[in-house]
Amino acid sequence: MAQVFPKSSNTLSKASIVVAGLVVAALGLATININRTTYVNTQSMPIDQVVQFTHTHHVGSLGIDCRFCHFSVEESSFAGIPPSKTCMGCHSVVWKDAPILEPVRESYRNDTSVEWTRVHDLPEFVYFNHSIHVNKGVGCESCHGRVDKMPLMMRENSLNMEWCLACHRAPEKFLRPKDKVFTMGWDPVKELGVSQEELGLKLKEENHVQSRTNCATCHR
Amino acid sequence: MKLHHAVFLASAALFAAACRQDMHDQPKHKPFTGSVLFKDHRSARPLVAGTVARGQLMEDEHLWTGKIDGKPAETFPAALAAHFGGGADWQARMLARGHDRFQIQCTPCHGSVGDGNGMIVQRGMKRPPSYHIDRLQKAPPGYFFDVITNGFGAMFDQRDRIQVEDRWAIVAYLRALQLSQNAQYADLSAEQRDELDHPKPRTEGQSHSTEHGR
């Protein structure tokens, strides 16, 4: 009887061990990278909301300050969502019958909440605090992008840990003067004629900004 | 192992890796997170009637209502000095804070000089009265505080978004605006008069630097 396995199966069986290892590694890599895509983490995708609120109009065209609505951003971990009363301040007069605004009117009438969907939803084991970032000179734009150019709110950045760390390792790459934190489209070269690095290092020194990379800084 | 088994296992591994969100979505409430436990779907519960939070006793009628014995106060509450850090220049700090808060909260309707020509007015809102009319020039600080706190006419109350001391700071800045918009030549210092009489021609650099603010 002829042998079941030809001699070449020796080589094949040895090679298959290596190939199996490679396949596992490739699958692992694929998993990690698929999870990092904007498709999976919904970055850059407008999120469905009950009211199609537009920052382009309110921030870009009207020039309303971020803090008009996000009033607790300087004192609290949470930036703040205004009561429906704040919307009604204008929208009881302007666009007062617009069907698009019915959820806001309903909320105001019945004292119920407009059920917004959180766009920047950090994992629950991350303890983020808006006030410290804003008070140390991290601009809204550095994390949230050009909100004044977002007709519908979307996440500009991944919010992956490596993204947080990029700034926590080298805050000077993003720091701005404290009075420019809420300005959109601020550019140190255009406005002050200095490079971001030069300005950042100066501000880091002046405002006692430290590089924070200890796990317990964010994970408590 | 057949090929379709391998494909199935591989895709299962991919899905499983993407689906474990237990740690990401813990059964805890961040501010304003919805809740299925309560009828109104709010995890943030309203205070039980009669609850007094720390620092919210509101004993100081002058500070919290802008009134003294039920009448609009002619003065600013004494408690502000401590809030704005005391010392010789606490009033300057209060004015700076008031300027800042005015720019954020008031200018959309009232305009940056308080003449009632804010951006929103240009888009169809009713024009609020200018701060510089006779009636409001003569109104006491407590009156403005009351309007910010409780609203007036088409203006909704702003007390949810502007803390009590900041409301007073805005009133102080509003007073400064009234002064500046109605300043007379005689009120100016010799230096300022000179600047007004002999305006310097604007250089390109200067005109650029004035365009920074919104």
- Chain segment A64-73, per-residue pLDDT in tens: 999 999 999 9
Using the beta-carbon criterion (under 8 Å), do A62 and B119 form an inter-chain contact?
yes
Domain count, chain A: 1
Q: Is residue A63 part of a domain?
A: no
Q: What is the pLDDT along chain B (214 residues), one digit of tens a residue?
A: 566 776 666 666 555 555 667 888 888 899 999 999 999 899 989 889 999 988 888 999 999 999 999 999 999 999 999 999 999 999 999 999 999 999 999 999 999 999 999 999 988 888 999 999 999 999 999 999 999 999 999 899 999 899 999 999 999 999 999 999 988 888 888 888 888 888 887 755 444 444 444 3
C-alpha A58/C-alpha A56 separation (Å) is 6
A160 falls within a domain? yes
A13 located within any domain: no
User: Does residue A185 sit within a domain?
Assistant: yes
A78 touches chain B (CB under 8 A): yes
Scanning B136-195 for CB atoms below 8 A from A yields 154-157, 160-162
The candidate with the shortest Cα–Cα distance to A176, out of A145, A132, A134, is A134
Nearest-by-Cβ selection for A86 from B103, B123, B161: B161
Amino acid at site A119: V
Integer Cα distance of B31 and A80 in angstroms: 9
Q: What pLDDT, on a 0 to 100 scale, did the predictor assign at position B17? A: 55
Tell me, yes or no, if A183 comes closer than 8 A to chain B by beta carbon. yes
Residue B212 distance to chain A (closest CA, Å): 8
Domain residue limits at A163: 73-79+120-218
From chain B, the residues in CB contact with A93 under 8 A are 124-126, 154
Mean pLDDT score, A204-213 = 94
Q: Coil, strand or helix: which one is B68?
A: strand
Domains annotated for chain B, with CATH where assigned, are: 61-181 (1.10.760.10)
- A219: which residues sit within 8 A by CB, 6+ positions away? A125, A126, A127
Mean pLDDT of A198-205: 95
CA distance, residue B159 to nearest chain A CA (Å): 11
A62: chain B residues, CB-CB within 8 Å: 108, 119-120, 123
Which residues in B26-39 are b (16+ Cβ under 10 Å) and which e? eeeeeeeebeeeee
The runs of H, that is alpha helices, within B60-163 are 61-65, 79-83, 90-105, 107-110, 119-122, 134-138, 141-150
A88, A115, A125: residue with CB nearest B34: A115
> A140 pLDDT exceeds 90?
yes
